[in-house]
Amino acid sequence: MGIYLNPGNDAFRETLNSEIYVDKSGLIAFTNRVAMTEQKYLCVSRPRRFGKSVTAKMLAAYYDRSCDSGSIFDKLLISGNDSYERYLNSSYVLYLDIAWFHMTSAGTEGVADVLQREVIAELREAFPGILGDTVKSLPVALAKISETIGEKFVIIIDEWDCLFREARYDEKQQEEYINLLRGLFKSAPSGRFVKLAYMTGILPIKKYGTQSALNNFNEFTMVNPGILAEYTGFTESEVRELCRRYHMDFDEARQWYDGYHFRRTRAVYSPRSVVEAMLNREYGNYWTGTETYEALKLYINMDFDGLKDAVVRMLGGGRCRINSQRFQNDMTSIKSRDDVLTLLVHLGYLAYEDQTQEVYIPNREVAGEFENAIEDEGWEHVAQAIRESGELLEATLRGDADAVARRLDQIHAMNTSVLSYNNELSLSCVITIAYYSARKDYTLIREMPSGKGFADIAFLPRKHSDKPAMLVELKWDQTAEGALKQIKEKNYVGALGDCREILLIGINYDRKDKNHQCVIERWETNHL
């Protein structure tokens, strides 16, 4: 075993020795299927703490011919696949952690130079007599070795995008590094020495213009995870099983950590957060706790038209349509609102719905990070509205419609530079921010379907909550009484099932006098 060549299976054994391990070895069936084909180049990008390195270590342990990993994988899901025995411990594995090379490089040497020097030195020891002293290029070294021994390599690169994040303004070093990757994976000889290439990172592969720097790679991202969606994070069934094992409330787990929804897998959870919650027997902010909120604040404060409106809309539980295709897959070529929002998808701060091309804040954990990020620098009044939202909820619960209307007037007046009213959708976003604290006790559903239409906003009490359900209907230049009448005539209350008590809330905004009107009626189930 070596540092870079055939690193063995000890790292993955440590993962399996952990108290919680969720079996994602089914991924190996896919990598086996594409190995030695034109589809053998894979780049999988995920947010931090989404298990990228664990997967890379798993693949290294499975393919590495220098060790016997049968005792590990015989117990995992992959052992039932037809390709299991054929590829188990069958290959020379080259495992490269770019963060390591970035940390150890110093002086005038860049990462590409250090990487090639260190790896070639190890290859010379492992394959004596093949590489002369003049060989300085890693692609050339691998081509010579492969030609001599008649074997190809499985090349695993962890944190491939480290330079584009940590040395984001060092274009010279980035160019040298990209040229190295092109030599490894896109040159004419590379096909003869690469059996499988698997790269992980937070960002997708860097674009130059409209083309990827390595356009022969199949990419699986947070925008489009494709067939690998179930390996993006923990699935709902996996989280349910963990909650059962650790006697934790699944509905609360879903509130805290769900929200990354893909076409193939409708519920994906943040792995690190779920594991920490189970081990600590307490739900809370674990994923975002691994990095300061300053990074998020930096991007949402960029001066792009429509960015603040988009953030406010998403804080209010809404969604924003974006064009993710123009993003250059780095952290410096940010030229528009859509670039910022697309970057936040890749960083995990936003989720993306591919069918509607919309982004949204996925869960309570990430929403807390947005709350921290808007505490200052032009967001003060929005943050104040969120902090004081408990007062609005209390006024609503006691049926004080005048107090609710006055509070909404104040919120709008304080935030006219950020909270712009254009239509009922804008009004809906402001209302949901005004009731922000209600999310602790309620599940919020916008445009909840009923028998005869859609209620604008429904607040459904969470399990163990003794608060009444709330139905909110919004009007624009009409009347609050008309909104309340619509709730009754279209029988929105019928969609709430067996809720014992419901507050019917009609809100109207008068564009001329810039005032809100509110009426509240308590609806008992014996009215049904």
Domains, the chain, ordered by start: 10-220 (3.40.50), 231-377 (no CATH), 385-528 (3.40.1350)
pLDDT tens figures, 229-273: 999 999 999 999 999 999 999 999 999 999 999 988 889 999 999
pLDDT higher at 410 or 96: 96
Calculated CA dihedral for residues 482, 485, 490, 495, nearest 10 degrees:
110
User: Rounded to two decimals, what is the model's pTM?
Assistant: 0.90
Q: Which two tokens stand for residue 383?
A: 């943050």
- Output the 3-class SS for 99-119: HHHHHHCCCCCCHHHHHHHHH
| Bridge pairing between strands 194-201 and 153-158 | parallel
- Taking each continuous run of H as one helix and of E as one strand, the counts in the chain are 23, 17
Q: Is residue 353 within 8 Å of residue 261, measured between CB atoms?
A: yes
- HSE-up (13 A, CA, CB side) for residue 437: 14
Which parts of 247-388 fold into alpha helices (H)? 250-257, 271-280, 294-300, 307-315, 337-347, 364-373, 380-387
How much is the average pLDDT of 377-390?
84
Residue showing tokens 């409209």: 210
Q: Which of 94, 77, 90 is nearest to 29 (CA)?
A: 77
157: which strand partners?
A: 96, 199
pLDDT for 31 beyond 60: yes
pLDDT at 416: 63
Residue showing tokens 């947010």: 47
Q: Is residue 68 within 8 Å of residue 290, measured between CB atoms?
A: no
The mean of the pLDDT values for the chain is: 89
Phi and psi dihedrals of 108, rounded to 5?
Answer: -85, -10
> At 154, is the secondary structure helix, strand, or coil?
strand
Per cent of the chain over pLDDT 70 is: 92
Q: Which of 162, 183, 185 is nearest to 173 (CA)?
A: 162
pLDDT at 137: 96
